[in-house]
Amino acid sequence: MTILAQNTVFGLLIGALYGLAAVGLSLVFGVLKMLNVAHGELIMLGGYVTFWLFTLWRIDPFLSLLPSALALFLVGCLLYKVLFSRLLHAPEETKVKNSILIGFGLALILQTIAIQAWTADERAVSPGYAGAVLAAGGIAVPLSRLGALAVAFLALGGLHVFLHRTYPGKAIRATAEDVEAASLAGIPVPVIFLAAFGLGSALAGIAGTLVGLTDAVSPAIGLGWTLKALIVVVLGGLGSISGTFVAGLFLGVAESMSGFFLGNAYREIVGLMLFLLVLGVRPQGLFARR
């Protein structure tokens, strides 16, 4: 039972990171109806921001959350203005297809730039508490991952408050519901699209900071995180923010348990099997409303 509890806790810790990594992707799709498959590369850039802030100026990773989010917000706004805004008036089906093509090209470009700038070596952030562990009831919890779990919940809570309690957040939700009605109500739809894409990129920057704290960062991690985020988004339901985060927790626990019962070689297979199962049985996602 202790081993099962340990695996459940570890699954929740990694699942919170999955959920946070996928929330930005879900937000962008829910508002803009675009699928940015370069989302993993934005997570990778957020990890590098944290790594270099720590390496050059010894800034703690948790203190670099805000700079990383701000930097990726600006990067996201730039990418939207230069690339994705050209799809603004396209039909929804065309918008999805072309955004995927743009995202694939962008992913290759960002990965190549990262290799040229920082080489293909793996980089890791090692603050003084990196190896610290909190033990209770026979269950060991790394402090860095516990902190990442807290940040993930705070980020989701802050996003929820922003979307439901502020005028810009309500404008984003209204635009996601009906673009034409939002425009007739006086909401500046182009500005909302820009802000939503930037906000999704900022969430990727926060996720990248936590990835840099709990794992290694390299130019090659983008594809893996994009695939993980896509699986979580499909499980939770496209455009469902809270459902996406819950699906991330679910996937983390499922992978951890499959690694325990079947072996680590089957961890990724379980996630893909869940992905295909949900697509076949409930394509709108486990937690999405009809």
Q: Check if the beta carbon of residue 76 is closer than 8 Å to that of residue 198.
A: yes
Residue 53 or 263, more confident: 53
Whole-prediction pTM: 0.94
> Strand, helix or coil at 143?
helix
Alpha helices in the chain (DSSP H): 2-32, 39-57, 65-82, 92-118, 143-165, 167-177, 179-184, 189-214, 221-236, 241-262, 267-281
Q: Check if the beta carbon of residue 99 is closer than 8 Å to that of residue 87.
A: yes
pLDDT interval class at 289 (50, 70, 90): low
Domains of the chain: 2-120+140-281 (1.10.3470)
Q: Check if the beta carbon of residue 240 is closer than 8 Å to that of residue 177.
A: no
Residue 275 or 244, more confident: 244
Report pLDDT for 288.
Answer: 65
pLDDT in tens, 108-123: 999 999 999 999 999 9
The token pair at 6 is: 């340990």
Give the N- to C-terminal CA distance of the chain in Å, as an integer: 38
* Amino acid identity, position 145: R
pLDDT in tens, 134-182: 887 778 889 999 999 999 999 999 999 999 999 999 999 999 999 999 9
Lowest mean pLDDT among 1-10, 267-276, 279-288: 279-288
Q: Check if the beta carbon of residue 24 is closer than 8 Å to that of residue 200.
A: yes
Identify any residues that bridge with 135 across adjacent strands, giving them in sequence order. 140
Q: Give, in degrees to the nearest 5, the angle at Cα 275 between 272 and 279.
A: 145
